[in-house]
Structure 1
Amino acid sequence: MARPISIENAEHYNWGDNCDGWHLVQSEQLSVIQERVPSGACEMAHKHEFAEQFFFILSGQASLKVEAETHILNPQQGLHVPAGAVHQLCNYGQDDLVFIVTSTPPSHSDRVNQ
């Protein structure tokens, strides 16, 4: 049965340097995760062989490098990352970065660190 989901009742995990993630949707074809990245933290540059992703900023400011181009994303802005594109998300701002990342198919099994 469907039920409303939030970070209060979603499956939580830690990643990277003191970052948080909450699985809002986990199915065979779709992953929706809310993540929190503290000031100064970055994820490792990587790509996904099959998954395409959409990053949507809720609060804070993201620096999202896709291939050779760096994009600055503010609240209520998003960016699509195609499958196979090397990307890296960083929080160079003063505040926590909170965003939603949607992946189809789910990206956890096809990550290739660079």
Structure 2
Amino acid sequence: MEIRNLQNATPFTTKDGSTIRSLLDHTTAPVLNQSLAAADLPEGTSTQRHYHKKSEEFYYILSGIATMEIDGEKTQVGPGDAILIPPGAWHQIHAEEALNFLCCCSPPYSHDDTYFK
């Protein structure tokens, strides 16, 4: 049985500039096909616009309000919203309020699969 608690997860900065705490991925458990992390963005900050060639992502907003942009389409998101980010889709999230969200990637998140212009 693999159980990880957020309080014990070490934060790190991803290639796009967000701070995440990896809960379940190949560095913390015998995970093969996905990753789960908790992410925080301070009010007024954004991730750097990027895409992943391989990974499909889900964001699930726990708290805060943000503007989500996927391939040029923007919408406001908040608590309870689940967002699909397909592989190859340019995306960026901007925190209008302090933002806390879950990020699930399949295949697992990798710096090597994060691309910028």
- TM-score per shorter chain, which class? 0.7 to 0.9
Question: How many residues are aligned here?
Answer: 109
Amino acid at match of 1:75: P
Matching residue of 1:103: 105
Query: 2:8 is paired with a residue of what secondary structure?
Result: coil
Q: Does 2:58 align with 1:54?
A: yes
Please give the TM-score of this superposition, normalised by the length of structure 2: 0.85
Letter in 2 for 1:110: D
Matches within 5 A, 1:15-94: 15=14, 16=17, 19-26=18-25, 27-93=31-97
Q: Does the Cα contact within 8 Å between 1:35 and 1:98 map onto a contact in 2?
A: yes
Q: Is the 8 A contact 2:51 2:116 kept in 1?
A: yes
- Sequence identity (%): 27
Quick check: 1:39–1:92 contact (8 Å CA) kept in 2?
Answer: yes
Measure how far apart 1:86 and its partner are: 0.4
Is contact 1:50–1:107 with CA below 8 Å preserved after alignment? Answer: no
Alpha-carbon distance in 1 for matches of 2:60, 2:75: 12
TM-score (norm 1): 0.87
Q: Give the secondary structure class of the aligned counterpart of 1:49.
A: coil
Q: Partners in 1 of 2:36 and 2:63 — Cα distance?
A: 17
Contact 2:65 2:76 in 1 (8 A): yes
Match of 2:116 in 1: 113
1:10 partner letter: A
Structural RMSD (CA): 1.4
Query: How far apart are residue 7 of structure 1 and its match?
Result: 1.9
Larger strand fraction of residues: 1
**C-alpha distance in structure 2 between counterparts of 1:8 and 1:85, whole Å:** 31
d(CA) in 1 for partners of 2:19 and 2:89? 23
Q: Which one-letter code corresponds to 2:22 in the other structure?
A: H
